[in-house]
A and B are shown apart, each in its own frame.
Chain A
Amino acid sequence: MTDSEVLHAEHRLEYPYSRSTGPVIGAFLTGLREGRLLGATGSDGRIIVPPTEYDPITSDDVGELVEVGPGGVIESWAWVAEPLRKHPHQTPFAWALVTLDGADTALLHTVIAPGPDALATGDRVTARFRPEAERIGSMSDLEGFVPEGGAS
């Protein structure tokens, strides 16, 4: 049997899980669908973004959800020069920890920028949402962050 007679095929293994969001994550995702970013108030008054259901230090229920952003500051970032199929962007982008205005913790998301030279820790960025009709109540409703002032 020659090599050309040995078969090859694409094979996809997929489990179509769905999970309940709970009240806090559900409210956060509902906010994303509305183009708003929400954080939860911890027992010491810190604003936790993305919100958790429980205060990570005291384990108490979190308090009121408050709107944060859409602007924020890059705390740390990594450039992805060759995105993989499963990545949220198919052109080069950065993973980044962004502390939104009004928040006390950083959110892991992406920054869309022309290249790594256009980014620095401490830079200001702003949220870019997908068009309203495309939003489904998912983290991907937030397309990513872009440098403030529209550099990209």
Chain B
Amino acid sequence: MADEQTDAAGPVTMLATPIRLDFEFTPGIAQSKFLRGLERGEFLGQRCGTCGKVYVPSRGTCPTDGVPTTEDVLLGNSGTVTTFCVVNVPFAGQSIEIPYICAQILLDGANLSFMGLIQEIPTDQIRMGMRVEAVWVDESELIPSLASVRYFRPTGEPDADYDTYKEYL
């Protein structure tokens, strides 16, 4: 905090006034399963028994049918970029060197995309439909957090057909 203050000799002109809220967070049963999966290096989702959609991460219920999702589904390591954003703007607390790619990734077999970092590709080559795979941290460093996924990288496969992900944009 002291470094936010004016230098020791001159008059005070700035004041650090951080606003802070401390929470005890619990992700609940369904998301705990997902996070425990990440700790094993796996993407674990859940299927709705009514509509058959697979959610990853699952909140434990199907938002369409309003029923509990009780069937666990182990998903693979690959998916498709549905949409993306190239981040060029620096901001406070930024932990990744800009420019970088933030993408929505639809894992194969899933009916819900989630956000992931894309690396190992120049930012001007990212595109919708690109096939990507997760790169995990070393086994000894796996934790129950998405931080266990270092990033996604292109698999080199041909792009996915637009029809396969058009419902997830």
Interface residues of A (CB under 8 A from B): 1, 5-21, 25-27, 29-30, 33, 85, 136-138
Q: Does B1 contact A (CB under 8 A)?
A: yes
A-B contact pairs, 10 of them (CB 8 A): A6-B28, A8-B24, A9-B26, A10-B23, A11-B25, A15-B20, A19-B14, A27-B11, A30-B12, A137-B12
Contact of A21 among B15, B22, B27, B28 (CB under 8 A): B15
Among A8, A18, A20, A33, residue most surrounded by chain B Cβ atoms (within 10 Å): A18
The total number of A-B Cβ pairs within 8 Å is 91
A136–B2 touching, CB < 8 Å: yes
The distance from the CB of A104 to the nearest CB of chain B, in whole angstroms, is 24
Closest partner residue, chain B, to A22 (CB atom): B13
* Contact indicator B12/A6 (Cβ below 8 Å): no
Residues of A within 8 A of B27 (CB): 6-7
Q: In the complex, which residue of chain B has the Cβ closest to the Cβ of A28?
A: B12
Complex interface: chain A residues within 8 A of B36 (CB): 5, 7
Measured CB to CB, the nearest residue on chain B to A134 is: B2
* A20 and B18 form a contact (CB under 8 A): no
B74 to chain A, nearest CB (A): 16
Q: Is the CB of A6 within 8 A of B21?
A: no
The chain B residue sitting closest to A32, CB to CB, is B12
Residues of B within 8 A of A (CB): 1-2, 4-6, 11-29, 31-33, 35-36, 92, 144
- Decide: A7 and B15 in contact? CB cutoff 8 A: no
Please report the C-alpha to C-alpha distance between residue A138 and residue B17 in the assembled complex, in whole angstroms.
10
A1 to B5, CA, bound (A): 49
Dominant SS among interface residues on chain A: mixed
Residues of chain A contacted by B19 (CB below 8 angstroms): 14-15, 17
Report chain A residues within 8 Å CB of B32.
1, 5-7
Q: Is the CB of B18 within 8 A of A14?
A: yes
In the assembled complex, the Cα of A29 lies from the Cα of B27 at a distance in Å of 43
Q: 7 shortest A-B CB distances, which residue pairs?
A: A137-B12, A29-B12, A11-B25, A11-B23, A14-B20, A13-B21, A30-B12
Establish whether residues A7 and B24, one from each chain, have CB atoms under 8 Å apart when the complex forms: no
- Chain B residue numbers with a CB within 8 Å of A85 are 22
Q: Pick the contact of B13: A11, A12, A26, A136 (CB < 8 A).
A: A26
B5 touches A26 (CB 8 A): no
A residues less than 8 Å from B22 (CB atoms) = 10-12, 85
The distance in angstroms between the C-alpha atoms of A14 and B1, with both chains bound, is 13
**Which A residue sits closest to B16, measured CB to CB?**
A18
Besides A7-B26, A9-B24, A10-B25, 16 more A-B contacts (Cβ < 8 Å) are A7-B31, A14-B19, A15-B19, A16-B4, A18-B14, A19-B15, A19-B17, A21-B15, A26-B12, A27-B12, A30-B12, A136-B5, A137-B5, A137-B15, A138-B1, A138-B15
Chain B residue nearest to A137 (CB atoms) is B12
Q: Are B5 and A10 in contact (CB under 8 A)?
A: no
| Residues B5 and A7 in contact, CB atoms below 8 Å apart | no
Interface centre among B5, B15, B16 (most CB of A within 10 A): B15
